[in-house]
C-alpha cells in the first residue's frame, strides 16, 4: 500500500464509531479529552461554535469538518455564551458516549433552531502511531468548499445517510466510510500544507516526488533488500543528495525509517495473524529469524513471541 493508506491501516485499532446527533438550541456539549484516539465533527445542518480554553471561538457552518487527531477535549455549543450543562462524554470515546456507536440521537426538549452534527471516533494504538500523525495540530478545521472537495462531501453524505437510517449492510458500510473520510481529511490537510509552501516535514515529503517515490517503494515492498543506493535510484537522485533530502524532510535517515516501518509491520502481523515467526521475518525483509528477533526486541522491548502472547 501507499504511505497514507498504510498509516490508516496500521494506526487505527478496533471499530470506528459514529453518531448522527440533532441538537435544539440552546445547547452546549462538552467532549472529553481522550489521549490515544482521534475524533471528528461534521456540521450537517444549522451552525454552532467550537470552544476551547485559551483560544478564540470558531463558528462552524454546514459542511465544515473538524478533525481532532489527538483526541483533544473541546465544546460544541449553539452560542459562545451558552452555559454548558451537558456532562462530558464517557472516557474511552473521544466525542461519543457509549450509546453513540453508529446511532442517530435526538437531543430534544428545546424549541430553538436545530443543529445536526455527524460525530465520529477512531481508536488509535499509541505504540504504532506513525510519525506522520504526530506532526498534526490538535485541531484541523476544514471549512466547507464543495466545489474544491467533492470527494469529502460525498463521503460525508454517504456516511450520514447510513448512520441516520441504518439498513441492511450498514454495519459493514460505516467502518469503511469512516476510514474513507479519515483518508480524505488527511489528504486535504497535507495537500493544503504543501500548497502553502511548507518545505519540511511530512506534508512536504508526501508532495516531494523523489522522497515520495522512495517512501512508496518502502511501503509497497518492505521485504525488498533496500539500500540507500537502491532507494536513491527509486527517487531518481544520487545517493548523497537523496539521503540528505530524505533526512531533512522525514527527520531520520532512509534506513532508519525502513527499519522502523518493518518492525511496525511485524508488530501488526504478530497481533493480527497466526503466521509463524519465520514467515513474518521474511515478510519484513529478514532471511534470519534470529536477526529479526533481535531487531524486533530492540524496537519493541520484547521478543516477537513474548510480544504476540501479550497482545
Tens of pLDDT, residues 236-289 = 999 999 999 999 999 999 999 999 999 999 998 998 899 999 999 999 999 999
pLDDT band at 105 (very low <50, low <70, confident <90, very high): low
Alpha helices, DSSP H, located in the chain: 3-11, 131-134, 150-164, 170-195, 201-206, 209-220, 228-235, 239-250, 254-272, 277-283, 289-300, 304-310
Mean pLDDT in residue range 188-212: 82
pLDDT in tens, 15-59: 788 888 989 888 888 888 888 889 999 999 999 999 998 889 999
**Edge-first strand listing for the sheet containing 12-24:** 103-107, 12-24, 114-124, 37-45, 65-68, 140-142
Q: Hey, how many other C-beta atoms are within 10 angstroms of the C-beta on 155?
A: 22
Residue 115: name the closest of 47, 40, 28 by CA: 47
Which CATH superfamily includes the segment(s) 3-195?
Regulatory protein AraC (2.60.120.280)
- Label residue 145 left, alpha or beta by phi (over 0 means left) and psi (-120 to 50 means alpha): beta
Residue 96 has what pLDDT?
44
CATH code for the part of the protein at 208-310 = 1.10.10.60
Q: Residue 166, preceding bond cis, omega within 30 degrees?
A: no
pLDDT above 90 covers a percentage of the chain that reads: 50
Please, what sign has the CA dihedral across residues 176, 152, 136, 71?
negative
Residue 90 has what pLDDT?
36
Q: What is the pTM of this model?
A: 0.81
Question: Rounded to whole angstroms, how far apart are CA atoms 27 and 83?
Answer: 8
Question: Rounded to whole angstroms, how far apart are CA atoms 16 and 38?
Answer: 10
pLDDT in tens, 147-184: 668 889 899 999 989 888 889 999 889 888 988 999 99
Burial class (CB in 10 A: 0-12, 13-18, 19+), 207: middle
Pair 244, 282: CB distance under 8 Å: no
Question: Rounded to whole angstroms, how far apart are CA atoms 62 and 33?
Answer: 24
Q: Which residue has the higher pLDDT, 196 or 6?
A: 6
Residue 10: name the closest of 216, 225, 271, 226 by CA: 271
Long-range pairs for 254-262 at CB < 8 Å and ≥24 separation? 254/214, 254/226, 254/228, 255/226, 255/227, 255/228, 257/218, 258/218, 258/222, 258/226, 258/231, 259/295, 259/299, 260/299, 261/218, 261/219, 261/222, 262/222, 262/286, 262/295
| Unique residue bearing C-alpha cell 470506528 | 16
Residue 175 has what pLDDT?
87
- What lies within 8 Å, CB to CB, of 307 at 6+ separation is 267, 270, 296, 300
Domains of the chain, residue spans: 3-195, 208-310
Amino acid at each position: 500500500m501507499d504511505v497514507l493508506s498504510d498509516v490508516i491501516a496500521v494506526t487505527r485499532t478496533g471499530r470506528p464509531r459514529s453518531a448522527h446527533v440533532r441538537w435544539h438550541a440552546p445547547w452546549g456539549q462538552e467532549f472529553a479529552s481522550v489521549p490515544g484516539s482521534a475524533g471528528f465533527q461534521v456540521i450537517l445542518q444549522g451552525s454552532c461554535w467550537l470552544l476551547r480554553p485559551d483560544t478564540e471561538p470558531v463558528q462552524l457552518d454546514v459542511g465544515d469538518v473538524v478533525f481532532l487527531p489527538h483526541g483533544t477535549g473541546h465544546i460544541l455549543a449553539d452560542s459562545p455564551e451558552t452555559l454548558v450543562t451537558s456532562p462530558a462524554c464517557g472516557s474511552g470515546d473521544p466525542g461519543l458516549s457509549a450509546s453513540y456507536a453508529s446511532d442517530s440521537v435526538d437531543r430534544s426538549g428545546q424549541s430553538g433552531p436545530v443543529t445536526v452534527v455527524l460525530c465520529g471516533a477512531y481508536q488509535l494504538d499509541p505504540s504504532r502511531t506513525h510519525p506522520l500523525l504526530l506532526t498534526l495540530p490538535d485541531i484541523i478545521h476544514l471549512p466547507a468548499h464543495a466545489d474544491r472537495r467533492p470527494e469529502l462531501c460525498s463521503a460525508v453524505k454517504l456516511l450520514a445517510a447510513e448512520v441516520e437510517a441504518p439498513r441492511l449492510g450498514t454495519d459493514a458500510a460505516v467502518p469503511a466510510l469512516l476510514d474513507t473520510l479519515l483518508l480524505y481529511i488527511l489528504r486535504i490537510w497535507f495537500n493544503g500544507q504543501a500548497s502553502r509552501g511548507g518545505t519540511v516535514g511530512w506534508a512536504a515529503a508526501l508532495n516531494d516526488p523523489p522522497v515520495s517515490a522512495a517512501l512508496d517503494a518502502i511501503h509497497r515492498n518492505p521485504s525488498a533488500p533496500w539500500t540507500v543506493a537502491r532507494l536513491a535510484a527509486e527517487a531518481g537522485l544520487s545517493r548523497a543528495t537523496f539521503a540528505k533530502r530524505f533526512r531533512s524532510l522525514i527527520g531520520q535517515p532512509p534506513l532508519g525509517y525502513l527499519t522502523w516501518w518493518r518492525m511496525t509491520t511485524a508488530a501488526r502481523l504478530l497481533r493480527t495473524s497466526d503466521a509463524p515467526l519465520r514467515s513474518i521475518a521474511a515478510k519484513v525483509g529478514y532471511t534470519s529469524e534470529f536477526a529479526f528477533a533481535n531487531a524486533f526486541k530492540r524496537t519493541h522491548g520484547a521478543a516477537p513471541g513474548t510480544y504476540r502472547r501479550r497482545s
